[in-house]
Each structure stands twice: as structure tokens, then as C-alpha cells.
A and B are shown apart, each in its own frame.
Chain A
Amino acid sequence: MERNTRRNFIRKLGATVGAAGVVGGTSILSSCNSVETSSGDKIKLLTSSGELVEVDKSQLTPAEMPNLSENQKRGREGLPGRSWVMVIDLSKCRNARECMKACQNHHQLRPEQHHINVLQMQDAEHTAPYYMPKPCQHCDNPPCTKVCPVNATFKRNDGIVLIDNERCIGCRFCIAACPYSARVFNWFEPRDAEKYKGVTYNIEANVPQKKGTISKCLFSADRLRDGKLPSCVSACPNGVYWFGDRNEDAVTNGTTKETVSFSKLIKDNAAYTLMEELGTKPRVYYLPPKDRAFPFEGDLIEHHS
């Protein structure tokens, strides 16, 4: 069922590159036009899994991947007809943190930067503690885009709140405005800044990260465009995440790949959204941590404040 057009295009020096079935360096070469001559010029390519590979320039063919301004335009429009939602089943989370690792890899984050953060929660003094993965809530009434002075963070029609780091001025008003602490800032040069130097900015993955600008979870918008589930959803070994299009009322589990009705899932399990009293209308739904699959083994209990 997987589309065979898993593509990732990176543009450099005016040459656009198409590579199908990106897994490792060799598969890139085999899938490109087989021009035997080598020009000796190497080009850096970013695979969808976040790996950086070097390819000979002569072996690349121009493809339909847009340049930066096209990419920004496309990134602002979003995927037509979609309305992405995530459902997080708190009863399944055992703090394996595979989601955090996959996310940091995909978005080139430093170890202390989290687009998704698995928190140890306890709602009140005597209630049971539980693990809570917390991505950006992609609010439908987003307090962060409200305050952005330059329209660098914005809401797309498919529900995703995205950031344009070619425009962000680094005022950090959005961090102050976000009640979910979902945003991070590049206080220093980002991880592997040297390595990704010259790689064209991809707004839908927010890579390469840029010093002095904001970053946060984007539901892996670049992967969604390729028909793939977000990095964290795919990486989870415990079936915590469901992800899908609310308009077609279906969500798919990242671990079991099972597809179920979104409305039935959230109704049957009495789903809730985080801090709904704030009126932010999150797009991330939580299934309560009832009948937990794993015992809580945390050590960092802090009272929910």
C-alpha cells in the first residue's frame, strides 16, 4: 500500500534533485539517472529520515521539487482537504521515548530540544501518575500565531501550525504565549550546523534549523505530504499514537497500522484535550490513562501546576 514515490528533493546551486526510495546512499544512486561520468562535484542530500548523504552532482536530474520561495508558498497552503488530528492513548505509554528520538533525528534537534516531550504527570496529590507525550497541540485558536509580529508562525488550512524560519525574527513572544511550552528556541548554532550548511531550508520539516529562530512540532508536515505518518507516530513501539484526517473521520495507529473511526475512538474512550478551559481548541486528543498497559516507574513527579 505504501506509495512508491517516497521522495525527498533537495535543491542546491540551482540543480534540483530527485531520489526515489531513499534508504541509504546506494539506493539514491541507483534511483537517479545512471550517468556514468563523474563530474567530481559533490552535493549534500537530506533523506527523509534525516540522514545526510553526499551524491555526485552529475548523477542528479532536475525534478519538480520547488525552490525556497515555492517551498514556503506550498508550506503555507498545506494539504488540501485535510484536517490532521492526533490521538494519544495515555494508557499505552511506557516512556520508551522512541518518539522523542525519532523526532530529534528528523528535525535535527539538540538533545535538550523537544518537539515532543514525554512528561511524567500527576494531576492531583493522590491521583495516579502517568506518562504524557506532549507535542505541539496545533490549536485551532492558537495563542502563538496570534502574537507573532511578522507572520512567521501561522495556521494552515489542514490544521497544522507551522513556522517559517526564513522570516522569524527571534522575539520569542510565541514561547511566552504558548501555555503548553511546546516551542523551543535555537539559542546557539543548531546541532550539526556545519554539516547541513548550504542545504535548502524545508519549511515543512523546519530543517536545517537556524540559530536565533523558533522551532516546534509540525506533525512532520513534510512526511504527511509524502503520505507517511509523522516520525513520532511511526516510531512508537507501544501503539500510543493514532494519527489521521478528521475530515474523513479516520485515524491510523502508528504501531499496528490499524485504521479506525476517529469519532468512535474518542467517544468510546472519553477523550479529552489539554487545558480546554483556555479555549485554545487543541488538535491533539488524549485518551485517559485508565487500565494502563505498563506500570508507572517515574522518579520525577512534579505536581501538575
Chain B
Amino acid sequence: MASAEETARAADRKDIRERWLLSAPALAIIFVAAIGPLFVMLAYSFMMKGDYGDVKPWTFSLDGWTSVLFQRDIFDDTLGLADAHLTILWRSIRLSFYTTLLTLIFGFPTAYFISTRAPTTREIWVFLVTIPFWTNLLIRTFAMQQVIRNEGLVNTALIWLGVIERPLQIMNTDVAILLGMVYVYLPLMVLPLYASMEKLDFRLVEAGYDLYASRWQVLRRIIFPLVKPGVIAGSILVFIPSLGAYVIPRVLGGGKNMMLGNLIELQFGSGRNWPLGAAISITLMVLVMIALLFYVRNVSKSETGHG
């Protein structure tokens, strides 16, 4: 009897061992080329910066971390707030927030529109959202540049219509970055919204109308609460990549309007301050983790709420 149990347990152990072996290559590659380097970067953020980039190995310094928010005055050596960094941090958070809001304002009616089509045409509309989603991000950013640059579509049209005489300067401003991010990340909002709206039970909507609810009341009190998981998922999917955006501000924002991603690049390039760059990277990662935790907490809450 005991031996049968033991054989079963031995078989179990063998199974688990085989499963570890089978997943080992994937885990090893991700460790070497994704997770491991993050730990090295964490260590780098606590070292002294090298004179020509890189770090002085095996030295310890908190300079990288303090200079995320503070800078030392070159004359009297006192610490003051690093205004440039705070501006960039604030711009990143603000623009990501606006991007999320705008994609929601445009994405919600779009997803609703798609989910109320007949099943056969619905697929085509979803496909139309999927195409930009799988198109190279750089190309979409570049496409946005064609619309907003000085000789671009918007300005040419407005001048031709006589609305303005000189082109509007949209490129190299925060507005350009915002437009680019809304354009690029819109599918990330529409797709999860659509996924939850597709499951919407319209009998509940009908019940609302039977009880004399107005269209607005139905939208706000019935539809919106039911698709809230989709709203949260879409918002997180848009907010997180916006926060870490690098290509869009680089192409549309010009050199001056940096976001966190560009500030990080600067420290590893001409800034030659790798510990600072590493510290900002970790800060960005922590911000993303906070957003993810918020998502996990809210989704589990709303799921138990329905359950």
C-alpha cells in the first residue's frame, strides 16, 4: 500500500522535474536577456559614474539616486530640486493621463459601435482596428508626423480653406506628443473595451428603458458599470506604454519636449551618467508596477462584485 503511494509520489516528482527541464530554455533566455540585466542595472544605480560614461565598478555612491530629484549647486554645493527632471516626470505623468482620457473618450463609442453591429460586419470592424494595432509603431508615429507637420495635411488644408495664413506649429510641442500617443495607443483601448461590450446583456438595457430610464441614464447606470473591467483594462494598457514612451516623444516632440524614456536615453548617451539613468529607469519601472497593482486590485474587486 505504502509502496504504491510512494511510486505515485515518485512519478509526481519525476513529472515536475521533467516540466522544469522542459521550461528551462525559455526561462534561461528570459533570465539572460531580460530579468538578469535589470538586477545588474539596479546595482549600477548605486555605483559612481565613470568619467566617460559607464560606472566605476565596485564603488558605492547614492549620487545616481539623489540626482533623480535633486541637483547639487555648482557654486555653493547645496542640494536643490532638479527642476528639469521634475518637469519631465510631470510631463510624462500628465501626458499619459490625458492620453488615457482621450483614448477612452474616442474608444468607448467606437467599441460600443462595433459591438452593436451584426456579427458578420462586426468582424470587419474589429479587423479594421487590428490592422493599425499590428502596424509598426514607428511607422504610425511617422504617419502622424505627416498630418501635423508644418507642410502636413492639417496645415495645408487649413491654409487652403483660408482659416489660417501661416502654418500652426504643432510639431515639437507637447500637443504633438499627445496626438501621437492617442493615435498610436487607441487600438489598445478599443480592443479590451470591445471584448467586454461584446458580452453585454442587452436585456438589462431593455429593462432600464422599461423603467423609464433616459438614454444617458442607461449609459451611465447600466452599460458603464457592466463594462467597467474593460474600461480599467484598456486604461492600464494605454497608460503603461504611454508612461514609458520613447519613440513618439523623440520623433514628434523634438529635442526639448522629453519624456522619461528620453531622459533615460540622454543619461546613457551624451549625459554620460549611467547611475542616474539606471535610477530613473528603476523609478519608471516602479511607477509601472504601481499602475499594474492598481489594476490587479480593481479587477479582482470588480470580479468578486459581479460574482
Bound together: no
